Structure 1
Amino acid sequence: MNKVLFITGPTASGKTSLAIKIAKKFNGEIISADSRAIYRGIDIASAKPSLEERDGVIHWGFDIVNVGERFTAYDYQQYAYKKIEDILSRSKLPIVIGGTGLYIDSLLYNYQFSSEPNYELRDSLENKSLEYLVEYCNKNNINMPENKKNKRYIIRAIEKQGYKNNGRKDNDFTSIAVGITTDRSVLKDRIVKRNREFLKLGIIEETICLSNKFGWDNESMTANAYPLIRKYLDNEINLEKLIELMSIRDWQLAKRQITFMKRNKKIHWLQLEEAEAFIEKELS
């Protein structure tokens, strides 16, 4: 087969378990499309599946760079295409899974990126209002820094995602793209339960380790739950408030992910159970 399966959807929608199940049935290997999972050490906060959860399925796209190192959407695209080519060459099924919409789109539509900094764009962003930059991040699924009132920080977050022009060309493979849709109340419950599990797994200890190593001002420490855990460590909030705020932040992320990915007409949106049947039919 010359097919590549894409599974996307909001955080906590059940993408990982579905991808592993499909990979075991169809001799697949998984390529993560998560802009947080690329970092070494960001494990629990990025919901990387454990070795036990991976159940023998090979995973790519984890632990590519150190915290603080530059890694753009262009870098991800080039990395993922090489993995897709390698997996197909071994007559196996590449399964791209994740919630970073720009990563998914860059592969589905084969965006033509510039690998060099776009100074013209940077200058144009400098002239934009803070409100415009915040809206740009929301529309393009870009994680903003904790200090949302600092234009320089927001521009750096945008730059980190790489720059896309209008050029596209066809891929050499056939894409099957599925998005997992979930009832909002169910998704909210899953998010809360997952955050409670993150605490049991040691997300606070992970945060302390990373902050000691890289400092709180590192851009990677301004995303995920880390700023909220810092408030907990500083005794500004208690444990229950931490879970509440982490869940609110994840829900806001899920809404941004849904808004961004719903624009992609190549994605078939299905409930988790329906998605499995649809994928098996497309691959059979």
Structure 2
Amino acid sequence: MATELERAEPPLVVITGPTASGKTSLVIALAGRFGGEIICADSRTVYRDMDIGTAKPTAAERTRVPHWGLDLVVPGDRFTAADFKHYAESKIEEIRARGHVPFLVGGTGLYIDGVVFDYRFGADVDEGLRQLLDSMSVDELQNYCNKNNIELPENSQNRRYLVRSIERRGSNHKRNTEPLPNSIIVGITTNRELLRTRIEHRSEQLFDDGVVEEAIMLGKKYGWNNEAMTGNVYPLVRQYLEGGLSMHEVQQKFVTLDWRLAKRQLTWLRRNKYIQWKTLEEAEHYLSDILARMATS
């Protein structure tokens, strides 16, 4: 019989999919059952103090299962996909060293791909191009992306994300053609109507939980023009506070923004032919079966 030391190391379980697809509840259940720890692959939840607006796992959820990748930097700090890859790789190693299963979970496609396909991120493009891009407005940067067939980032209103998308296109990042060995990649597929309903319900929950008060606190602490405050629900709350939008309009516009985000995420993720697309129920049975068999082998 194999000893503990002779057993194969735990697999990297990757669960991805669009926003509001139910990834969080699924991974918490699986990680709790099979001795897992969760690494959040979300470009919004890396920011401290942005809890409600980014729909971070609750304190109770974090108590049930260890979570990593949250609250890494303050709003305004630079944090790139390369930074996330370095962070995630170190956490995967630590989690496996503890004999636990690493779960990489989120909807930020570049974060997921950077780890799974072992991106070797190149250096930034030359400063001349950076200065040119820095002089352009958000609309101009978006037009540049469209004209040059560059995919818009998840937060297409964020200048920094737009600039990084353009710079990535101009640099030759090397990557593996196949995923890391000993990894399982599952994507959550959801009926369009159900996904839209989930997004609407989450929008209501955000406002019930106090996202307006959170936005006010963040605006005072970090400034409304902070780049981390230019995306997601926060600019809409600012317009509400300034009298430009009613609360109903804010909620409806946020639903539209999240719906567009979900579609962009799916567009990115569907390029990965190694993702096994399953409903929440199918994913739960599929991964439970694999992890249960590995635990007894």
Which residue number corresponds to residue 29 of structure 1?
37
How many residues align? The count is 278
Match 2:165 to one of 158, 170, 174: 158
Tell me, yes or no, if structure 1 residue 273 matches structure 2 residue 281.
yes
Aligned counterparts of 1:213 and 1:13: Cα–Cα separation in 2: 32
**2:248 is the counterpart of 1:240:** yes
Mapped to 1, the partners of 2:157 and 2:24 lie a distance apart of 26
* Rounded Cα–Cα distance in structure 2 between residues aligned with 1:137 and 1:230: 32
Q: 1:84 is paired with a residue of what secondary structure?
A: helix
Deviation per CA, 1:56-89: give whole Å up to 9, x if none.
2000000000100000000000000000000011
When structure 1 is superposed on structure 2, of 34-43 and 166-175 the one drifting more is: 166-175
The one-letter code of the counterpart of 2:286 is F
Structure with a larger share of its residues in strand: 1
- Residue in structure 2 matched with residue 149 of structure 1 by the alignment: none
Structure-2 residue corresponding to 1:198: 206
Q: Alignment partner of 1:167: what SS?
A: coil
Match of 1:131 among 135, 143, 153: 143
Q: What SS does structure 2 have at the residue aligned with 1:102?
A: helix
Judging changes above 3 Å, is the alpha-carbon distance between structure 1 residues 36 and 247 closer, same or farther for their aligned structure 2 residues?
same
Q: Could you say what secondary structure the match of 1:96 adopts? A: strand
Where do residues 1-284 of structure 1 align in structure 2 (5 Å cutoff)?
1-114=9-122, 116-119=123-126, 122=129, 126=133, 130-134=142-146, 139=151, 141-145=153-157, 155-156=162-163, 158=165, 165-169=172-176, 173-283=181-291, 284=293
What TM-score comes out, normalization by structure 1 length?
0.89
User: Displacement, 1:153?
Assistant: 5.6
For residues 101 and 289 of structure 2, the distance between their equivalents in structure 1, rounded to whole angstroms, comes to 15
CA distance in 2, matches of 1:164, 1:105: 16
Residue identity over aligned pairs, in percent, reads: 43
1:237 alignment partner AA:
L
Q: CA deviation at 1:215?
A: 1.4
Name the TM-score, length of structure 2 as normaliser. 0.85
Q: Which runs of 5+ in 2 are unaligned?
A: 1-8
Residue 136 of structure 1, CA deviation = 7.1
Question: Which digits, 9 at most, give the CA deviation of each residue in 1:173-204, with x for residues without a partner?
Answer: 51100000101111111111111110111111
Distance 2:71 2:38 in 1: 14
Which blocks of at least 5 consecutive residues in structure 1 are unaligned?
147-151
1:140–1:260: 8 Å Cα contact kept in structure 2? no
Deviates more, 1:232-241 or 1:10-19: 232-241
